[in-house]
Structure formats: structure tokens, C-alpha cells
Structure 1
């Protein structure tokens, strides 16, 4: 009929996430408080590399800065520029680069750049000249990790080149830093050897007229256990996300920030003697009920974890059974569980709530919990809760 409005088509309802990483800003703020208490008056640089250890770099950075973190640390130029694009203006240090990287955009964005070789320094100088501004420079020194950083043999040459670059106005040295090899063993003598080497290399820089504004070395473990190694700033990473750098010793009062969960897409009966999932690596020992969760190794649940982990359903632990597939895995719920399609299972989270801990996966896999949380990927969506609203 003319003259009458037609009903508008129903708007599609967005699907509820089937796989979810919930990031708790309140837990994050708590962990910043733990770190700041350990650091005393020493400023904190929060490491937010690898997309904030899988938690979302820009989101967690904002909370950390609001809670008193002074600076941010990342590996790559793209990570640093991504934070700038997200509106974060705090000091950012980026420390792992190709020798022929284009440093000009980062210099123009005020990103502090770490170098480990003379070739890196030459590329930074070139970028500074093209950007029309001096680069803020940090030098990473290798005091015994024998990974990235300038070693003792190459230090005089890099020091000479950096001094010349600063005199020419191409760079301004801000920092010198190193990374400990065995900070999770706080009494190990190599830590003190590395600290002594760092001090010696800093003294050599000062003698050459290249005096750093800040010297830093302490990662999470050293921040929590070695107050004598604070230097001018501490540089924690994993502890901020609520995972202990020394889980066999203490949780240090940290609270896990990430909670990985999924919702059952199918619940069914499996009869005694029936196999489950590829290869029938698990056979039902009696009649039971199983549930299917829509996460697999494409989402960060390793196939090698098959049959070796639990999930929490309604506050109770239930074993994952059979092989983990690309998109799904199966949980033995037992008869009479009352679990229905759409119910939630927590894959890992906070053990204080009876949930499995990322460390349990690490123990089963012979790895560390860093790999567990940074490995969450694929179709898992993030949700942020808590914080200052």
C-alpha cells in the first residue's frame, strides 16, 4: 500500500564469539603495582612486544601507563609505530632491527632506537639525516647472553662511531642496556659477571664523552628478586601479565591477565568402546558425554598437548580427550554433567578461581608460559574487562 512505511529488515545480530581471550585490566593494574613496589623509586619500562605478549599492545600499554609505568619497550619498528598510530605518546624503545631498516619514520615519530652494530648505527644516522632530526639512541651491549648486542671485542669500534655521530648532531645517546642470561636464578654468579661487564662498558662510554642518561638491565625476574640491579630503570615483561618468571619459586602475588575460553558447539553421548577424534587415540572406557570446543592448533592449542590438559566447566576440571584438531577438540564431560551447547569452558586462566594455569601447559609441553600466551591466535577474539572504564 502506498503512503505507509514498510517494516525495515531485521538487523543481523553479531555472533557471540566462540573462542575468547578475556584481558583483565584490573589484574594488569594489580601486577603493575607489584612491580612498582619491588622497583621502589626506580622508573619502570613495560615491555609490550609481540602485541603485548598476546594481550593487545595498545590496550595494555594504556593501562600500564595510567598505573605509573614511564616508558614502553618493543622489538620492532612496526610495533613502535603501531603504538604511535594508536595515540600513545610515552617514550618507546625499539631494539631489534635489520641492518638496512628504514629508521626515518621512527625517528620522526620520536621512537628511541637501539643499535648493536656499526652497520645498525650507520643506518640510524642515515635515517636521522633524512628525517631532519637527531635520532634518540640506545646501545645494547652483550655482557654474556651472546645473542643480540655489541660484545666486548666490538665495543670500542661502535663507541667511536657513536661518539662521532653524536658530535655531528645525528644522534643523541640516551641509554645503554643489556639482558641477563640467567636472571631466573637470582644467585647465579653469571648475573654478577654480567652486571660488572655492563658497569665497565658504561664507564668506557663515559670516558669517551658518551655518557648515557639511563642504564638498564633488570627484566621481570631481576626486578622481583635483585634490587641491587635496578640501575636507572627496570624493564619487566612477563610479570606484568601475571605470570611468574620463576614459577617454581613463587607467584609473587601476580594475577594472570589472560583468560582463554570457548563455548561448546556440540554435546553428545559416546558409548563405551567408541573412539574419539582422529586416530581414535582415546577410547571411551564407559558410556559418557563429550563436548566439542571450537578451538584447535590454528588458534594456539598445540596438537602435541592432545590428551594432556584439562578445562574448567562450571567450576570443575574436565579432561580434553583425543587429538587436538585444527579447529576443535573434545572434552569428556561425564554422564549427567548437565552441560549444554553454548556453555562456557575455561581453557586457562587464574588458578585462584579453580581454572587451569598457563604454566600447566608449559609443564606438559616442556616449554615456558611465555610461549603459551603469545601463541593464542587465529579466530580467538579479545575482550577487555575492568580498568578505569
Structure 2
């Protein structure tokens, strides 16, 4: 007989659809770009992209070109890949009609050369560095970047379809200053003859809490999956779309052993965090390779399934609450889960 102690990440289509609707309502009239990095935050791109497209999502964000190509196989919607790629990947993106984020002259020249080789037209989103210094054109290099892209437009091998940036989200004052730089960059591009279709500056947190910073497009990932910000409040109208459950493998000496451990992606540093049991929250005592020991509760028995985090858990047991224990973010808890955790998508 098959052991039933395999940990399961149960994912709700309905919760995902509801979250998307809540986010779109919150940010309107800005349009949603659904970010799908890290395999849709550990939930699986294939079902999530198809589900989102069915709800009317028309923009998808992919960190890299391979991820964008996976999404492209599922939808004809607009797809934006923002990480710099090698020539082979950039050529594949141009062929597949994927929009590319451009933050350096080297990458801009490479992408334009790729479009020329294919006798094609690449869609460019030029990135201005507004202070995060992750990448992007510094303000003093912006005019040159726009000039190079505009020259490619004149040749018919590129289109400047977007201007974008990342916010540092260190303080409201810094984000306000970043917006000023962003608006300056948009105006300089338009003065040079560019006519970008979209402008995008904010990701999940700023899109939700700072409406004055939203531009025509908002890049939102975590919130659509019901993952709140670290140290942040619950988000009205959204809920976790998944829950991680594990079965009781042993009960003895005031300890209950669950069939999930660091081999499944549970951080060994989670000792002291709490998980949801039928008798309420219980503290994690130890995380080993294939098991996790927690405080016992009345009626615990082998085969009983408990919620490690997610939907249906009360109190501390959500992914972000666990993440806060180890000074990280909720998405890391989800994306660490290995293929040894079975994913099950339900309605």
C-alpha cells in the first residue's frame, strides 16, 4: 500500500481567479501585468497562465526569456521579459514576439542586431534607473539610449513600446523622488519622438498602497497568489491560493513527527514557528531532512494531515508568517518547495 505521507501543495483555481479580480479592481484604471517568475511563485506556470488568460489578463511578466517562452506556449497575450539574455535567447524572444526590458547600451545594441538579422521588429521597454541601482540606464545615459532605440525605430527593426523602472520602496520620500525621475525620462523619450504604449513603475506593494505612483501598467506577482508582504497586513479581497499539508508519521514522547522536512524545501531554521493542527497552533521543535517534529496535541494519530501553512490555517501559519521568522519573504517559502512536494490543482 502506498504511504500517504507525501506532502501536498493544494492550489485553488477559484482563489487565484478571485485574487486577480480583487487586484484588478484595486489598481484600476492601471492594467495588471501578472508576474510569473519562479514558476508562478512555486505554483506552476502551465495551469496558472492558462487560468489567468481565461480571466482576461492580457499582460504577463517573466523574469527571463525561457520563462517567457513557456508562457508564450500557453497564450497569445503580451509577455514582458526583463532580465538581460544572451544572443540566442534574445533571438528566440524576438521570434516569439516577446517584449524585452532593456537597461544597458550593450544589451540594446545586441537586441537591435538580432532584430536586424531576422528582418523583424523587436518591442523594447527602456528602463530608467530611478534609484534602485539594480540595472537600467542612469539619467545621464538616457538620451543616448533613446537615440539608439529611435534610430532602430526609423529602420523599422524596433519599437519603443514601454518605459519602466523598479522602485526601491525604502521610503515614501525616495519613491516620490523616483517617480520624478521616471516622469522626466518619459518626457525626454517623448521629446525625442518616442511614443511608448505603456509606462510601468510599481510592483505589488507600491501598486497596492501608493495609487499615485501607478502608471498605465502595474507589475504584480505575489499579491495575485495571496502572498502578503513581510510585516504587512492582510490584503482586502485576497487570500492564499494554496496550502501545504503533511501527514503525521509518528506520535511519541510529546512530539508529533510530520512527513516533511528540508529535503522537501522546509527551511531547517523554522524551529519555533507554529503550524496549524486540529487542536490549534503548535510549535515546530525540529526540522530534519525528511521530517519535522512539532509539539503534540490531543488526538494526534498517524496518517492525520495538518496544515503547515496556507488556506484554512489560523493565526501564524501562513507562508509570510513563517518567512518573518527567518527574516525573508513569503514567496521564498513557496519557491523553496522541491518536486518532492506534490502539486494538486483544485477548483
Q: Distance in 1 between matches of 2:173 and 2:77?
A: 35
Structure 2 match to 1:194: 178
Q: 1:298 to 1:62 in 2, by over 3 A?
A: same
Q: Which has the higher helix share?
A: 2
Q: Distance in 1 between matches of 2:93 and 2:100?
A: 8
The reply to whether residue 68 of structure 1 matches residue 56 of structure 2 is: yes
Structure 2 match to 1:93: 80
1:379 counterpart (337, 340, 343):
340
Q: Distance in 2 between matches of 1:340 and 1:358?
A: 25
The reply to whether residue 41 of structure 1 matches residue 29 of structure 2 is: yes
TM-score by length of 1: 0.83
Give the 3-state SS of the residue equivalent to 2:219 in structure 1.
Answer: coil
Bigger shift: residues 374-383 or 242-251:
242-251
Structure 2 match to 1:300: 265
Q: Is there any run of 5+ residues in structure 2 with no aligned partner, and where?
A: none
Q: CA deviation at 1:355?
A: 7.1
Q: 1:17 to 1:129 in 2, by over 3 A?
A: farther
Structure 1 match to 2:290: 327
The reply to whether residue 126 of structure 1 matches residue 90 of structure 2 is: no
The reply to whether residue 339 of structure 1 matches residue 300 of structure 2 is: yes
Q: Distance in 2 between matches of 1:341 and 1:107?
A: 54
Q: 1:352 to 1:34 in 2, by over 3 A?
A: farther
Q: Distance in 1 between matches of 2:294 and 2:283?
A: 6
Matched-pair contact (CA < 8 Å) for 2:62–2:82: yes
Structure 2 match to 1:316: 280
Give the 3-state SS of the residue equivalent to 1:154 in structure 2.
Answer: helix
Matched-pair contact (CA < 8 Å) for 2:53–2:75: no
Give the 3-state SS of the residue equivalent to 1:102 in structure 2.
Answer: helix
Aligned length: 347
Q: 1:251 to 1:43 in 2, by over 3 A?
A: closer
Structure 1 match to 2:18: 30
Q: Distance in 2 between matches of 1:16 and 1:61?
A: 30
The root-mean-square deviation of aligned C-alpha atoms, in Å, is: 2.1
Q: 1:130 to 1:292 in 2, by over 3 A?
A: farther
Greater Cα radius of gyration, structure 1 or 2? 1
2:127 counterpart (140, 156, 161):
140
Give the 3-state SS of the residue equivalent to 2:92 in structure 1.
Answer: helix
Q: CA deviation at 1:111?
A: 0.8
Q: Distance in 1 between matches of 2:189 and 2:333?
A: 39
Structure 2 match to 1:6: none
Q: Distance in 1 between matches of 2:146 and 2:2?
A: 57
Give the 3-state SS of the residue equivalent to 1:331 in structure 2.
Answer: strand
- Summarize deviations over 1:232-261 as a string: whole Å, max 9, x none: 111111111112236434433320112111
Superposed, which structure 2 residues align to 1:130-279 within 5 Å? Answer: 130-182=117-169, 188-245=172-229, 247-264=231-248, 266-270=249-253
Q: Distance in 2 between matches of 1:318 and 1:148?
A: 43
Q: Distance in 2 between matches of 1:110 and 1:206?
A: 24
Give the 3-state SS of the residue equivalent to 1:243 in structure 2.
Answer: coil
Q: CA deviation at 1:298?
A: 2.4
Bigger shift: residues 245-254 or 38-47:
245-254
Give the 3-state SS of the residue equivalent to 1:301 in structure 2.
Answer: coil
Structure 1 match to 2:6: 18
Q: Distance in 2 between matches of 1:246 and 1:240?
A: 15
The reply to whether residue 110 of structure 1 matches residue 136 of structure 2 is: no
Q: Distance in 2 between matches of 1:20 and 1:116?
A: 40
Bigger shift: residues 168-177 or 121-130:
121-130
